[in-house]
Structure 1
Amino acid sequence: MHATRRVILASMAGALALPAAASPGPTRAEVLATMKRATAFMTEKAAVHGGYVWSYLPDFSRRWGELEASPTQVWVQPPGTGTMGHLFLDAYHATGDEAYYAAATQAAECLMAGQLPAGGWNYLIDFGGETAKARWYATIGANAWRMEEFQHDWGNATFDDAGSSEAMQFLLRLYLEKREAKFKPALDRALDFVLNSQYPNGGWPQRWPAGRPFTKHGADYTSYITFNDDVAGENIKFLVMVAQTLGDPRVGPAIRRAMEVFVITQQPAPQAGWGLQHRVDDLTPSAARSYEPRALTTHTTAANVGQLMTFYELTGDPKYLARVPQALDWLAKVALPARRPDGRTHPTFLEIGTDRPLYIHRRGSNVVNGEYYADDNPEKTLAHYSSFRLVKLEELRARYAALKATPRDQAAANSPLTHTGPLPRFFANQDFATSDLNGGGTLAPSKASPEAAAKLVADLNAQGYWPTPLVATSHPYQGPGPAVAAPGDYSQTHVGDAWDTSPYPTDKPVMGISTSAFIKNMGVLISAVDGG
């Protein structure tokens, strides 16, 4: 649960708006040839049934998504198969080369093969079958100490980390390209998945249909109304895309209900914020993973304030702005006394009723003997899940003031809810945070310039990929961890002892193949071909 997109309209605004080359660079033919070779390597060597993971060793002896993957697995979670599909479609738009449309089709067929009966997707697809998937969950997944969402196979689809959302957005784009009938049934099932899983109050669970309650808190937190990692925002974005292009009459009411859940879950002043997830019955915040206590959450509150302001731009309805000042006042009240050296301004978690910061720690060395806990001590907090956040409060206040001064008819003058039309031509290189440590944690586009394009043309190796330092790795599975903690302090590390299969940054990176690097590099070359 790490990926977040900035706002629900990010993909509506157009991407790769980069200036045309103003100084000498590679020829168009050289750029096109480089793109073609790099794509051929990914589709012919890296792909499994048309799908992708996040990184590979050059000999493909090991490969990783968010965790180490088996040779029969592909990743749905970005930057995986759906992101690659978006990239191929972007390349098709820039070049008109049908080979890219074929590559996008292969990615879509992979996703369709892994689409679950309910219409959504899990984090990964295993073409080795149920036995192979069960073996992976019982070994690598079960022993990834900090990766609690992978420790069990819930047997259902997830909205977490934009995997299902990106897959369905990509299928929509691909269907709209040529209206090929073979993509429509999967797209229809995906839309039904979003509509059927929505609660009457407008919220969505993290996973659906309900799975088994595997949490240490004794409740299935995945059934709660989820804001974490922009679950609601991503679903709204998909529904807006459908409204904008297909005009399905069911999506308008669903969007309105979804926007309303942000209003009804905002807690009373003076603690006028939100949690990562909220109970369906009384709409109060709830705990989730063992390092996510029941609390109000500052970065979620800031994100939800941003969404409410976007809803005003979609609808012109002032109710979405009505309680924004209360949330901003609460964020101001709970700010740290001074900005931290890393620039962060707020504690992540605040205790309900007291505004006391809750800082997250752990002890032990692996999933068997380790545990997470919260207290009021800001020292030696987790490295893999920060107890501190950057909240750009003044930017939020400035945006609110500008919208408050904008008449409602002007605010929603260009709303995609009332104006049908085509989607943007480019999607893949957005300002999009991911959990891919080897990709730098973001898919934000690299700087496009003639010099950057020339370097990419020169750096593509003889095999057809861009060698990339793999700055993260993981311990190979070697059995269940011991019940007695290993010597050492693992309180601030990404990984525990040698039995912990969680990914971690390494000071001995090896050169390998990165899906994120491919996407970013192709974005630069697409810009060189398309001229912005």
Structure 2
Amino acid sequence: MSETRSLVRICLLFCICFVFCSVIADELRSAEVTEAAARQAMQKATKYFRSQVSTEGGYLWLYSQDLKEREGENQAPASRVWVQPPGTPSVGQAYLNAYQKTGEPYLLEAAKAAAMALVNGQLKSGGWNYFIDFEDRKAYQYRVNGGGSKARNTTTLDDNTTQAALQFLILIDQELKFKDQPIHEATMYALNALLKAQYPNGGWPQRFDSPPDPKDYPVIKANYPESWSREFPKKKYLDYYTFNDNLIEDLVGVMFLAHHVYQDQRYQQAALKAGDFIILAQMPEPQPAWAQQYNSQMQPAWARKFEPPAVTGGESQGIIKTLMQIYIYTGDKKYLKPIPPALAYLKKSELPDGKLARFYELKTNRPLYFTKKYQLTYKDNDLPTHYGFIIKSGVDSLEGRYQRLLDDSPEKLASMRFPTRRVRLTPSLTAKAKSAIDSLNSEGAWLRQGDLKASDKENLRIIDTRVFIRNLDTLADFVAASRKD
């Protein structure tokens, strides 16, 4: 009898295991993602984005689900697209990347349409404004059907605007083997404008509409002003030597890319000249780091009402990365020399919680903040919320990277200049691809919950270009990895 009961138990356990394994197998089969499904989702999403969301090949940042409300950094009409990331160049680059990973011709066509939107929005000054308007053409001196001499013609280097547009154009020009005349010509025109806009000392302004007069910008080292106003002076600052928002870092990257693609030494020399400017702009002791912007006398100066003359804990970290980038490209250790004193200074300047202040008072090194009414203060208990006055410190990470660079061989440095990312088919990538496919709606749109500045409604279903870019990149990675495996 006991043997019979044991046999029954074994049979029951076997049945339970069989059922459990069958359920698991069914779940695994349901979680499978095929290359064909990923390609189908990419094509459906791209078709919707091009036919319904795009304006003349370009894009904004956010859209309501019905596409009636649109915005970039602010509300925008249907005739307008954004250049500042994550707008048109970012979407165009996503199309180009996906094409290079999958070989799908429709993706290259979408990338070319985005590039032509930028061509049609390029200013006579050489670069781009934050946005392009395809109806109000006479308000701007566009090279294509633009306004006259009184129309706006200001190229902006702020917020990676012109740099992102130019980087994308360089890469698609290369992909098209330099044979698309409008794209190639616009790219060359922009690069030459940036060369002309570079100051004698190697810096660049935040914005420009014409080349600088060299006699107005002497080549001198950074220095402390004898005094500076604690009150916002409301002076124009757009022609100041600018590091704010990592402007120089983005430009150096563009110039090295241009040199890599076109093999024109002028672009490499512009990047190295920018490196020389960084060395000149390092403040003397006791604060051997950098300011956000400098006047023509190389003294830290006011920009906006919440950006005082100060040494910055923010952009200084980006500048250190830029110096390492230049060293990787050149192997010249003079670009590493400013880094150790800057890192030591930033480490010493960390707040008790290990973070950094965005601004440190000149010479005293006391952290500077603003109240919500934009009064300069040493206290951090009434900060405006739109700006990072206290930021993360990456000093330890920068120190580690610097030390590793010292030991890297010339061959290792060369491999780091324009590395290619190898994509592998992992469970994580498969899960992300499945999520992208499953979240695509019947029209071909990816939606998320969010708010729009133009709407008084909250928690809307919106189309976000960042979500589109992320999901397209995921699906392209999945297709590329599937083909390899």
Q: Smaller-chain TM-score range?
A: 0.7 to 0.9
Q: Compared with structure 1, are the counterparts of its residues 390 and 74 closer, same or farther at alpha carbon in structure 2 (3 Å cutoff)?
A: same
**Offset at 1:254?**
1.3
2:188 aligned partner = 188
Contact kept in structure 1, 2:125 and 2:210, CA below 8 Å? no
1:96 aligned partner = 103
Tell me the secondary structure at the aligned position of residue 69 of structure 1. Answer: coil
Which of 156, 159, 162 in structure 2 is aligned with 1:161? 159
Q: Does 1:474 align with 2:453?
A: yes
Alignment length, in residue pairs? 423
2:378 aligned partner = 376
Unaligned runs of 5+ in 1: 1-20, 135-152, 340-344, 364-371, 417-421, 427-446, 477-497, 499-505
2:171 aligned partner = 173
Report Cα offsets for 1:288-333 as digits up to 9, x if no partner: 1111111110011122122222222222222222232211121122
Tell me the secondary structure at the aligned position of residue 352 of structure 2. Answer: coil
Q: Does 1:522 align with 2:475?
A: no
Which amino acid is the alignment partner of residue 161 of structure 2? Answer: G
**Offset at 1:384?**
1.1
Q: Does 1:315 align with 2:330?
A: yes
Which of 237, 240, 246 in structure 2 is aligned with 1:224? 240
Which of 103, 108, 128 in structure 1 is aligned with 2:115? 108
1:451 aligned partner = 431
Contact kept in structure 2, 1:245 and 1:423, CA below 8 Å? no
Report Cα offsets for 1:215-252 as digits up to 9, x if no partner: 96343211111111221111111111111121113212
Which amino acid is the alignment partner of residue 91 of structure 1? Answer: A
Q: Distance in 2 between matches of 1:394 and 1:463?
A: 47
Which amino acid is the alignment partner of residue 95 of structure 1? Answer: T
TM-score by length of 1: 0.74
Q: Does 1:249 align with 2:265?
A: yes
Q: Distance in 2 between matches of 1:425 and 1:346?
A: 32
Contact kept in structure 2, 1:361 and 1:382, CA below 8 Å? yes
**Offset at 1:402?**
2.7
Which of 490, 505, 510 in structure 1 is aligned with 2:460? 510
Which of 356, 359, 371 in structure 1 is aligned with 2:366? 356
Tell me the secondary structure at the aligned position of residue 512 of structure 1. Answer: strand
Comparing 254-263 and 217-226, the one that deviates more: 217-226
Contact kept in structure 2, 1:448 and 1:528, CA below 8 Å? no
**Offset at 1:173?**
1.1
1:277 aligned partner = 293
**Offset at 1:451?**
2.2
**Offset at 1:94?**
2.1
1:72 aligned partner = 79
Which amino acid is the alignment partner of residue 268 of structure 2? Answer: G
**Offset at 1:210?**
6.0
Q: Distance in 1 between matches of 2:258 and 2:467?
A: 30
Report Cα offsets for 1:50-105 as digits up to 9, x if no partner: 10001101111211101111111100011110111111111211221211111111
Contact kept in structure 2, 1:336 and 1:346, CA below 8 Å? yes
Q: Compared with structure 1, are the counterparts of its residues 296 and 48 closer, same or farther at alpha carbon in structure 2 (3 Å cutoff)?
A: same
Q: Does 1:305 align with 2:285?
A: no
2:65 aligned partner = 58
Superposition pairs for residues 488-507 of structure 1, below 5 Å?
none
Higher relative contact order (CA 8 A, sep 6+): 1
Which structure: larger Rg? Answer: 2
2:222 aligned partner = none
CA RMSD of aligned residues (A): 2.8
Q: Does 1:128 align with 2:135?
A: yes
More helix by share: 2
Q: Distance in 2 between matches of 1:354 and 1:423?
A: 42
Report Cα offsets for 1:151-188 as digits up to 9, x if no partner: xx964010111121111111111111122232211011
Q: Distance in 2 between matches of 1:133 and 1:64?
A: 20
Q: Distance in 2 between matches of 1:202 and 1:130?
A: 33
Contact kept in structure 1, 2:70 and 2:454, CA below 8 Å? no
TM-score by length of 2: 0.81
**Offset at 1:464?**
1.0
Tell me the secondary structure at the aligned position of residue 285 of structure 2. Answer: coil
Superposition pairs for residues 387-402 of structure 1, below 5 Å?
387-402=389-404
Q: Percent identity?
A: 32
1:288 aligned partner = 303
Tell me the secondary structure at the aligned position of residue 368 of structure 2. Answer: strand
Q: Distance in 2 between matches of 1:231 and 1:221?
A: 15
Q: Distance in 2 between matches of 1:239 and 1:68?
A: 32
2:356 aligned partner = 346
Q: Distance in 2 between matches of 1:425 and 1:379?
A: 44
Q: Does 1:34 align with 2:41?
A: yes
1:148 aligned partner = none
Q: Distance in 2 between matches of 1:56 and 1:234?
A: 28
Which amino acid is the alignment partner of residue 377 of structure 2? Answer: D
**Offset at 1:24?**
5.8
Report Cα offsets for 1:437-490 as digits up to 9, x if no partner: xxxxxxxxxx952222122212211111012112x32256xxxxxxxxxxxxxx
Contact kept in structure 2, 1:25 and 1:453, CA below 8 Å? no
Which amino acid is the alignment partner of residue 75 of structure 2? Answer: E
Q: Distance in 2 between matches of 1:245 and 1:268?
A: 37
Contact kept in structure 2, 1:290 and 1:373, CA below 8 Å? no
Superposition pairs for residues 421-440 of structure 1, below 5 Å?
424=420
Superposition pairs for residues 320-335 of structure 1, below 5 Å?
320-335=335-350
Contact kept in structure 2, 1:298 and 1:347, CA below 8 Å? yes
Q: Distance in 2 between matches of 1:267 and 1:132?
A: 41
Q: Compared with structure 1, are the counterparts of its residues 411 and 34 closer, same or farther at alpha carbon in structure 2 (3 Å cutoff)?
A: closer
Q: Distance in 2 between matches of 1:100 and 1:459?
A: 21
Q: Distance in 2 between matches of 1:223 and 1:406?
A: 38
Q: Compared with structure 1, are the counterparts of its residues 529 and 44 closer, same or farther at alpha carbon in structure 2 (3 Å cutoff)?
A: same
Which of 382, 385, 388 in structure 1 is aligned with 2:387? 385
Tell me the secondary structure at the aligned position of residue 375 of structure 2. Answer: strand
Contact kept in structure 1, 2:272 and 2:326, CA below 8 Å? no
Q: Distance in 2 between matches of 1:406 and 1:87?
A: 32
Q: Compared with structure 1, are the counterparts of its residues 184 and 86 closer, same or farther at alpha carbon in structure 2 (3 Å cutoff)?
A: same
Q: Distance in 1 between matches of 2:109 and 2:381?
A: 52
2:251 aligned partner = 235
1:47 aligned partner = 54
Which amino acid is the alignment partner of residue 322 of structure 1? Answer: K
Contact kept in structure 1, 2:252 and 2:322, CA below 8 Å? no
Q: Compared with structure 1, are the counterparts of its residues 77 and 388 closer, same or farther at alpha carbon in structure 2 (3 Å cutoff)?
A: same
1:208 aligned partner = 208
Q: Distance in 2 between matches of 1:405 and 1:424?
A: 22
Tell me the secondary structure at the aligned position of residue 120 of structure 2. Answer: helix
Which amino acid is the alignment partner of residue 336 of structure 1? Answer: L
Contact kept in structure 1, 2:125 and 2:153, CA below 8 Å? no
Contact kept in structure 2, 1:87 and 1:519, CA below 8 Å? yes
